[in-house]
Amino acid sequence: MKTRSTYWQLLPYIRPQGKTIAQAFACTLGVTVFWPIQAALAGKIANFIGQGNMTALAQLSGVLALVFLVQKVLMYGQDALMAKAALAVAFNLRKQVYAHIQNLNLSYFETAKTGDLTYRLTEDIDRVGEVVNKIFHDFIPCILQLIVILSYMIYLNWQLTLATLVAAPLMGILIGWFGEQMLKFSRRSQNRISDLSALLTEVFSGIRLVQAFAAQEYEIERFAIEAEHNRRAKYAAEHLKAIQFPVVGFMYAMSVLLLFFLGGWQIASGNLTGAEFVSYLAGVGLMIDPIAHITSNYNDFKQGEASVDRIFELIAIQPTVIEKSGATDLPAVTGKVEYRNVSFAYPSHLPLDRKEQEQVTVLKNVSLLARPGEAIALVGTSGAGKTTLVNLLPRFYDPQAGEILIDGIAIRDVTLKSLRRQIGIVPQETILFSGTIAQNIAFGQKEFDLKAVQAAAEIANAHQFIVQFAQGYHTWVGERGVNLSGGQRQRIAIARAVLFNPSILILDEATSALDSESEALVQEALERVMKERTVFIIAHRLTTVRRADRILVMEQGQIIESGTHEELLEQGRRYARFYAQQFS
């Protein structure tokens, strides 16, 4: 969803900093008042130059120095206070955007680029903070400075001032045109840098595979192509700036030449004294810097507008799975799970391979009942709907038809947090975060009992290898747990589920990527964890599902067989063929 491009969207984040901004603005007004005073004092000093009255010259110079000092002190207050307010705006915006992203559904993350999200949360929000700072710390003071100095110049000689402003409309049109072009180029540049960031995230995450396939040159070429696109987009913006400043500068220089010509004419006509013209020139000199700043700031604002667009586009994305109004907490459950005529199809914004199948329902009118403490295994070919079926239970997605109940309570009627607190998941690919082993086992808990962590690790067959590390449970886990083996990571994931203590447990291919020794240890741990819990087991290896209370065979989104291992072998149908294929 595209939001309207405007800085007004930032008002809710700027408003809480109103007191700090007001204090900064008070300093700004003080700074502004001193500009015409400086111009007037410059004119008075010009009167005494060459007259030999050094006392008066020294006194006026001292007053001017004092004016400069007070003004610079006020400038410090203006700059420091505005920096504080702008950083607070960026901080609060970043927190809200991050919290918003956390609440988006899995369907969004299946297409979102990690690098792009990272760029929006870092560079785009930093740019917005810089723009907010410039608006109050630079742009508005420059506008005020121009207004005050122009008023003083009109007071000195309105005819001369009117004549010098002839070029102003043309300069305004030029600056506006350059600004619109800068916005277009900035959007293109920021999209390119987001693509580059996404590529880097993708490659660094899969660097083991890149090196295993000796694909470094291939990736270097991909990187070079994206980097070249980024270079071209950035150069287009910089090239526009390179054109803008000479053009605007030339127009300004022509205005100054016109000023000298007309000033000489006014002096010759007796409408202006030499001292007044010096004071007038001082005013013109004081206008150069704010005009340059306004021109530069306008370009920055247009670049920042692209960042505002990208941030609020993200905020405008709404989760597809939402809590209903008046949702209640799910009480402690026994683990009875019921699917009633559930049908599901992936939405059209998922990846291309799924888009091609978007008219094909993944689950078709599925009904099943899992009793408390029952272990149910789901088997079938890839794409049969096994993972989709269990992903509906914690409401990662919502079915298009039918309903799911836990202990007779529809999961749509309860809060997501209370629902997911009672469902544990041990995935095929274990995700570990930077932190200690203990922190990874107690994931999501700010404070935890180390003894409880150790007890969970013992149940998960993880304690033995953890204590072999020099730092034990305080051993630092590298990014994604690369310093641990697959079996070790999986046992930490099981310990995490044990400590979570859910009533319902989902084991999604929990042993498929392990060697025989690790699988045996993990399988033993899983059997302990499964006791007195309702368990859904997804597995391609049929050795891991033999002891399930019930095995469901899925095909094309439907349950086509149900029974124990022995019963299904006796029936001699699909499960029996699977089994024969694996053990022939």
Alpha-carbon span 115 to 279, nearest angstrom: 55
What is the reported pLDDT for 406? Answer: 95
Q: Are 340 and 409 in contact (CB under 8 A)?
A: no
Report which of 560, 531, 559, 564 is spatially closest to residue 547, judged by C-alpha positions.
Answer: 564
Question: Is the confidence at residue 481, as pLDDT, over 70?
Answer: no
Task: Record the tokens describing residue 473, joined without a space.
Answer: 């449970």
**Average pLDDT of span 89-105:** 88
Tell me the three state secondary structure of residue 420. helix
Q: Are 439 and 468 in contact (CB under 8 A)?
A: no
What is the reported pLDDT for 144? Answer: 81
Tell me the three state secondary structure of residue 259. helix
Alpha-carbon span 433 to 478, nearest angstrom: 7
| CATH number attached to the domain at 7-189+234-316 | 1.20.1560.10
Q: How many helices (H) and strands (E) does the chain have?
A: 22, 12
Report which of 521, 536, 539, 547 is spatially closest to residue 457, judged by C-alpha positions.
Answer: 521
pLDDT band at 515 (very low <50, low <70, confident <90, very high): low
Tell me the three state secondary structure of residue 64. helix
Mean pLDDT for the chain overall: 81
Q: What residues form DSSP beta bridges with 551?
A: 377, 563
Whether pTM > 0.85 for this model: the answer is no
Alpha-carbon span 472 to 468, nearest angstrom: 7
What is the reported pLDDT for 355? Answer: 42
- The DSSP secondary structure of 482-514, one letter per residue, reads TTS-HHHHHHHHHHHHHHH--SEEEEESTTTTS
Q: Where are the domains of the chain?
A: 7-189+234-316, 325-422+540-584
Alpha-carbon span 306 to 191, nearest angstrom: 10
Report which of 344, 138, 157 is spatially closest to residue 263, judged by C-alpha positions.
Answer: 157
Task: Record the tokens describing residue 490, joined without a space.
Answer: 């999986």
Other beta carbons within 10 angstroms of residue 566's beta carbon come to: 9
Question: Is the confidence at residue 358, as pLDDT, over 60?
Answer: no
Architecture per CATH, 325-422+540-584: 3-Layer(aba) Sandwich (3.40)
Alpha-carbon span 388 to 386, nearest angstrom: 5
Report which of 148, 141, 182, 74 is spatially closest to residue 294, judged by C-alpha positions.
Answer: 141
Tell me: the pLDDT tens digits for 389-399?
Answer: 999 999 988 99
What is the reported pLDDT for 354? Answer: 43
**Average pLDDT of span 15-22:** 90
The DSSP bridge pattern shows strands 534-538 and 375-379 to be: parallel
**Average pLDDT of span 88-95:** 90
Tell me: the pLDDT tens digits for 388-425?
Answer: 999 999 998 899 999 999 999 999 999 998 998 899 88
**Average pLDDT of span 272-294:** 72
